[in-house]
Amino acid sequence: MSERIRTTRSDTLLASVGGRGVLCGIYDEDAADTYHDLMRDSDGTSEAQEFATLIRPASGPVLELAAGTGRVTFPLLELGFEVTALELSTAMIATFRELLENATVDVRKRCTVVQGDMTAFALDERFERVVVSSGSINVLDAADRPGLYASVREHLAPGGRFLLGVAVAEAVKPGQGERQQELPGLSGRRYVLHAALLPSEEIHEITIYPAEETADPFVVCTNRIRLLKAEQVVRELEEAGFDMVTRTPFASAGQSSPDVLLLEAKVSGA
């Protein structure tokens, strides 16, 4: 289970709901129902197609890090690639495996699921492509990102590429410290998403909870999202010994303008 992050909002909510309250990280087992209700329909096909333009067919397995429940992995598999999906959370992996069991034999054969930490992993294989979908690097602190870059370097085959989606961070305006919106779940249940900018202005504290005050259990999910700028990631990659090859902005599902920058990097001199 990941660290249980307490937010100011979660403290207030849990104090008011008493024994009904459950605090969990958004990728934990206790959050699985909420996560699926809000994310089940989230489509990674357009993102997978963007990655696919930079992956040679028959280039061997693609390594996807922080694969979650396979939002981008399954479309990559549908496109015919072989994918090794690495993920840290036991709950996310359990759902991933369930979805995989319902996939075709052909898709199942081309997918390997590995539990591991993207900031420190050691697989007995090198890959032509290592992929991280948009939003996933935002779960890592500055102190952990060098571990990601070093581990990726160790796992790239000669001439291989690191493909990293970086969400284009919205500029934070003064007075935008907190915001709240209601989100509909696929089940019909409604949730409140509360986002508070921490004083460092580089982290959003996220709290998601039922809009229905009498919900039992009253599951309060929390997360921290780093507001990373693409230029910062590029700088860090260069410091970690990568050269940038291409930078491609694209619009993810449901967006009318580009909200993700796809970075393609290679090991310097390789």
**Inter-CA distances, 214 with 17, 21, 22, 190, 218, Å:** 8, 11, 13, 12, 8
Q: Does 222 bind ligand SAM (CB under 6 A)?
A: no
Query: What's the closest the beta carbon of residue 26 comes to ligand SAM, in angstroms?
Result: 8
Structure tokens at 110: 């081309």
Rg (C-alpha) for the chain, rounded Å, is: 19
Query: What's the closest the beta carbon of residue 15 comes to ligand SAM, in angstroms?
Result: 27
Measured from the CB atom, the residue of 100 and 139 that comes closer to ligand SAM is: 139
Q: Does 74 bind ligand SAM (CB under 6 A)?
A: no
Q: Does 133 bind ligand SAM (CB under 6 A)?
A: yes
Q: Which of 21, 68, 75, 185 binds ligand SAM (CB under 6 A)?
A: 68
Measured from the CB atom, the residue of 17 and 67 that comes closer to ligand SAM is: 67
Q: Does 117 bind ligand SAM (CB under 6 A)?
A: yes
Query: What's the closest the beta carbon of residue 91 comes to ligand SAM, in angstroms?
Result: 8
Q: Which of 24, 62, 63, 67 binds ligand SAM (CB under 6 A)?
A: 67
Q: Does 119 bind ligand SAM (CB under 6 A)?
A: yes
Q: Does 84 bind ligand SAM (CB under 6 A)?
A: no
Q: Which of 135, 150, 232, 236 binds ligand SAM (CB under 6 A)?
A: 135
Alpha carbon distance 128, 158 (integer Å): 8
Beta-sheet strands, E only, within the chain: 21-25, 62-65, 83-87, 111-115, 127-132, 156-167, 178-184, 190-197, 203-210, 218-226, 242-250, 260-267
Q: Does 163 bind ligand SAM (CB under 6 A)?
A: no
Q: Which of 5, 139, 183, 193 binds ligand SAM (CB under 6 A)?
A: 139
Q: Does 195 bind ligand SAM (CB under 6 A)?
A: no
Q: Does 37 bind ligand SAM (CB under 6 A)?
A: no
Which phi-psi region, left, alpha or beta, contains residue 232 (left: φ > 0; alpha: ψ -120 to 50)? alpha
Q: Which of 23, 88, 156, 265 binds ligand SAM (CB under 6 A)?
A: 88
Helix (H, G, I), strand (E, B), or coil: what is residue 261?
strand
Q: Does 252 bind ligand SAM (CB under 6 A)?
A: no
Do residues 67 and 85 lie in contact, with contact meaning Cβ atoms separated by under 8 Å?
A: yes
Q: Where are the alpha helices (DSSP H) in 131-199?
A: 145-155
Structure tokens at 107: 């898709």
Residues that bind ligand SAM (CB under 6 A): 27, 44, 66-68, 71-72, 87-89, 92, 117-119, 133, 135-136, 139
